[in-house]
């Protein structure tokens, strides 16, 4: 009888732990906490004329963290295209947490983007590591851009209102170059500065 009772208690404990784990995943997964999705998305090409962003990423284990976006605007501030954005924000997370990559939300207006467009430029928060995203000088519709000068933005939400922004102006008629853009932190003493690091932007003319 004692053995039977023991087995029943163990079964109950296993059920409770399994249920708690499932609930944790269901509740926290939308906020990218405690999970490591498999792959990033975004636009990338290794050949041809392109602007290339490379960076190291370290996931922050906090609610309202680990969101980022890389996009292009013209010199008049008109949005051209997003090269990568974390999907939780793009798919509606911005309505739950207005502080999540707000500059990208204001520029790209994801509420007006189609599901196909969102899927094309977004992906789940990636594993820790080094990543590269590139732009082939086409707009959100796939048409070649006009003009020669543009501005890039790389924005990250590290934790709630704690954010970082990299930006710079570039000319697509110049020779090859690589720059290390300055990081502007909303909270200079932030403990989450390691989320995006080793950021480099390079122009490849061919």
**Do 52 and 11 belong together in one domain?**
no
**Do 12 and 112 belong together in one domain?**
no
Determine the structural domain holding residue 9 and report its residue range: 1-31
Position 43 scores a pLDDT of: 61
**Do 116 and 71 belong together in one domain?**
yes
Q: What is the pLDDT of residues 65-112, one digit of tens each?
A: 889 999 999 999 999 999 999 999 999 999 989 999 999 999 999 999
**Do 178 and 104 belong together in one domain?**
yes
Nearest CA-CA partner of 84 in 35, 124, 127, 142? 124
Give the number of domains in the chain.
2
Nearest CA-CA partner of 145 in 54, 84, 204, 72? 72
**Do 123 and 189 belong together in one domain?**
yes
**Do 154 and 55 belong together in one domain?**
yes
Q: Which residues of the chain have pLDDT under 50?
A: 19-41
Position 52 scores a pLDDT of: 94
pTM: 0.78
- Cα(84)–Cα(45) distance, rounded to whole angstroms? 13
């Amino acid at each position: 009888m004692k053995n039977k009772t023991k087995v029943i208690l163990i079964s109950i404990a296993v059920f409770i732990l399994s249920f708690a784990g499932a609930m944790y995943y269901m509740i926290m997964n939308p906020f990218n906490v405690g999970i490591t999705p498999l792959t990033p998305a975004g636009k990338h090409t290794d050949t041809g004329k392109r602007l290339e962003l490379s960076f190291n990423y370290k996931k922050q284990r906090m609610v309202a963290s680990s969101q980022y976006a890389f996009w292009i605007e013209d010199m008049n501030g008109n949005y051209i295209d997003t090269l990568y954005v974390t999907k939780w924000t793009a798919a509606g997370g911005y309505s739950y947490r207005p502080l999540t990559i707000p500059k990208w939300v204001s520029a790209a207006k994801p509420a007006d983007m189609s599901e196909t467009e969102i899927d094309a430029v977004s992906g789940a928060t990636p594993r820790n590591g080094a990543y590269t995203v590139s732009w082939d000088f086409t707009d959100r519709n796939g048409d070649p851009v006009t003009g020669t000068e543009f501005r890039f933005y790389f924005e990250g939400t590290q934790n709630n209102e704690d954010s970082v922004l990299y930006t710079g102006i570039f000319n697509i008629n110049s020779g090859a170059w690589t720059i290390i853009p300055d990081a502007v932190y909303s909270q200079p003493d932030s403990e989450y500065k390691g989320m995006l690091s080793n950021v480099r932007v390079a122009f490849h003319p061919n």
